[in-house]
Structures are given as structure tokens and as C-alpha cells.
Amino acid sequence: MKIDILTLFPDNMNAMLHESILGRAARRGILELNCVQIRDFTENRQRQVDDYPYGGGWGCVMMAQPLKSCVDHVLAASEGLRRRVIYMSPQGRTFTQQRARELARDFDHLVLVCGHYEGVDERFIEQCVDEELSLGDFVLTGGELAAMAVADAVCRLVPGVLSDAACYTGESHWDGLLEYPQYTRPESWEGREVPEVLRSGNQAEIDRWRRKQMLLRTREKRPELFARFEPDEADQKLLAELERDARRMHLTEPVTCRPATPEDLEAVALLIRQARNYLKRHRVDQWQGAYPDGTDAAARIAAGECYVLCYAGRVSATFCLSTAPEENYAVITDGKWRSDGPYATLHLCAVEAQFRGSGMADRMLRSAEELALAKGVAAVRADTHRHNEPMKALLRRCGYQFRGHVLVEEPIFDPRRQAFEKVLRT
């Protein structure tokens, strides 16, 4: 790609154009970038490039002759190439990423003409210019900044300038969306954390999160762009998910945790039933047999092991925490427990449907950990079915590590469970 920028101020621009990525690409011969002095093409002794406007008015207008001679000069060197003469103008079509793509794809030689003063003689535009491009609906002193912007945006799309096409195909405006948010080290900065998913190492989940963020932030930041965007089937699914996310309950009042009483049994049993149905709908073979039912919850309440989280006076989540050694955890395969001291075991965790995604589940685990510490144990263990993705995600998010596999009493369905542990204090 060859780009000639015709200007009255070539020196300042040359320095900038030959820096960094574009400069390196030019040195490697992928780009040829020149800034050409229009004044060198005047035919008067004073090297005058402008004159008063016919009809009166403010300022001066650039004369057609030096501009045309300058254009002819640069075009003479690119016979046979695909060429385009572009006048940078506030009256032109607004420059976009789409236009940058087309210019990079369809032409080998771009001539960018920078006006100054009140602009250029209209007859030059009529005779020599293929297209007018504007940087936006505002007026600059000269076309130089606009030409630099066009040259930069076009050049980075020329094959070989960036190390990989993926460097620009994922960026804002490539497919009508804005790019997802970016983070770098450190993980925690001034109390703000890098989103957990980006640290998970699960590339499929990261890609999904990023695409959702692209949709979300385009809709929020640039609604007019979003209105023109045509989502495919996969994007439509993500948009439906975003709708569901938006409907999720936001916790604005304090959540309290207390031991469950026999009066809570009905509410606890309801939460457990909801969780069973949820797992069934998602084809997870956990809690689909005899366990758990109301009697399990009643026994835990009687033993003082069942707790409820209340929000706005309502039971909204429940869990059981036992410090008795768990028989099923005596044998663990494919790994081992991290702690060998006393531990607490989490059982019967359930969050009311309308609180899913609200942070209630995370509070539930935090409450369980506080209780465990208060009971003098420094590790919490839990198990879940390998297909119970929400529970696994919750445990991981809250710092629990996968430790191996355990077996639970399960006469009909798969008895294997993934075992997790969090050491609270070493």
C-alpha cells in the first residue's frame, strides 16, 4: 500500500507516520508513506498557494493549480495501480472502519489531500478528487489530522502490518460491535478485580463472556450502532441470556444468616424441591432419587446443622454444615484432601430460584465459612455431581479446589461425585 499525503506541513507529519507499527512496516517495505509539500508545485515566484475568495468573506482559499500539479506528480509514479484521490473535508462522508477496510482492500495507492484556511477551490475537487472523507461533524484547522487518521486506520489492515489478522478482526467496529473490556496485571487494582472468568483458563467460557460483553456494551454505549447490528443465532442466544441476567434480583438490603428452626422446615423443603426440579430440568442426575426430602432437612434442623439466609424477612437460601467426619469422604480417588485436620461438610445447599445470579449463593458459602471458623475448623468440604455446572462454578468462584472423586449412597443414579475443598486457615 502506498499513501501520499499532500500537505503544507509535511515535516511534522513525517515524524509521526514513521514511528511505531507503521514505521516498522514501512521499513520492511510493506507500506510506502510519503508527505508531499504542496507549495513545491506552485507556478508563482512567491510560492503562494492560496488567495482571496471570490464573492468576499473570511480567510483564503487554496488554489486549484498547485493542488492539481501535486496530485499529477504523485499519480505519475503509480500508473497501473488501483488509485484513489481523497480530499479530507468536513463535508465528506464520515470515515468509518468499514470504509478503512474497503480502502485497504480495493486500492494500492491512496492520495490524501489536506486543505487549509477556508478550504480548497471547488474546481479542484470537481476535477481531481474521487471522494471526500470527513473525520466527523466538526471543523479542523487543516486536513492533516484527518489524513493521519485515515492513513493509520487503513495501513493497520494491510496484510503483514500487524502480526495477525486476529489483531484487528476482534476489535471495535469490525463486525458492527464494540470490543469487550480488556484487563492486564495486576489481578487486583485499587480494590477492583479482573473478572474471574478471564483467569479461569477455560477459553470457551472466556470467548462466550467476551462476546456477551461486546453485545452488552455496544447496546449500552452506542445504541445507534446496536440498532444496525444483525445478530446471528448464537448472538441471539447470548442476547436472551443478557435479558435473563437483567431480570435477576439485585440485593439492595442486608442478607442475614441464622440457624433454621422447625418453623422454617416448610420454606427449606420448598427450596430443596425447587433445586431438585432445577437439576431435573438441566438433566443432572443429582438429588433425583430418594435423597433429599423433607425428612433429611428436618433431621438437620433438629441436629442444629441447618441454616437459612433471609432477605427482606424471607427465607431465600439454605445450607447445612456438619462438623462430624463425613463417611463418604473417607475414601477419595483421583486425588486427595488438602487438609488432614477437622473440617466442616456442606450439605443441602439451595437458593431460591429468583435469587439465582444475585450473589446470594456466594453469600451462602461465605456464611458457611464464617460458621466453620467459629466452630473451630479450618477447612470446608463439599461434593457435587460432575454435571452440576452452577454448583461447580460457585465452588470454584469462591475458592474451592477440586480434590478428587468420592462416592455417595445412590442406589439408582450415578453415585460418583466431584469433591471440593477450601482451606480457610493454614
The burial class, CB within 10 Å (0-12 / 13-18 / 19+), for 211 is middle
Q: Measured at CB, which residue is nearest to ligand SAM?
A: 115
Q: Which residues of 316-328 are buried (b: 16+ CB within 10 A; e: fewer)?
A: bbbbbbbeeebee
Tell which residue, 102, 106, 58, 74, has the closest CA to residue 7: 74
Helices (H), 248-350: 265-281, 294-302
For residue 188, give the 3-state DSSP assignment: strand
110 contributes a contact to ligand SAM by CB under 6 A: no
66 contributes a contact to ligand SAM by CB under 6 A: no
Which segment (87-95, 177-185, 267-275, 418-426) binds ligand SAM by CB under 6 A? 87-95
Q: Contacts with ligand SAM in 359-388 (CB under 6 A)? A: none
The grid coordinates listed for 386 are 460432575
For the CB of residue 177, give the shortest distance to ligand SAM in the complex, in Å: 25
Which segment (31-39, 130-138, 311-319, 411-419) binds ligand SAM by CB under 6 A? 130-138
For the CB of residue 152, give the shortest distance to ligand SAM in the complex, in Å: 14
Of 23, 53, 90, 404, the one binding ligand SAM (CB under 6 A) is 90
394 contributes a contact to ligand SAM by CB under 6 A: no
Residue whose CB is less far from ligand SAM, 136 or 259? 136
**C-alpha dihedral sign at 199, 203, 207, 212:** negative
115 contributes a contact to ligand SAM by CB under 6 A: yes
88 contributes a contact to ligand SAM by CB under 6 A: yes
Which segment (25-33, 113-121, 155-163, 305-313) binds ligand SAM by CB under 6 A? 113-121
Which segment (34-42, 83-91, 199-207, 326-334) binds ligand SAM by CB under 6 A? 83-91
Residue whose CB is less far from ligand SAM, 31 or 148? 148
CA distance 267 to 357: 20
The grid coordinates listed for 144 are 492533516
Of 102, 108, 118, 179, the one binding ligand SAM (CB under 6 A) is 118
User: Concatenated DSSP letters for 195-257?
Assistant: PGGGGS--HHHHHHHHHHHHHHHHHHH-HHHHHH----HHHHHHHHHHHHHHHSPP--S-EEE
Which segment (82-90, 250-258, 340-348, 408-416) binds ligand SAM by CB under 6 A? 82-90
Q: Is 367:335 a contact under the CB 8 Å cutoff?
A: no
Neighbours of 100 (CB within 10 A): 21
**C-alpha dihedral sign at 95, 99, 103, 104:** positive
Of 22, 26, 114, 309, the one binding ligand SAM (CB under 6 A) is 114
143 contributes a contact to ligand SAM by CB under 6 A: yes
Residue whose CB is less far from ligand SAM, 118 or 235? 118
CA distance 318 to 272: 8
Which residues would be at the binding site for ligand SAM (CB under 6 A)? 88-91, 114-116, 118-120, 134-136, 138-143, 146
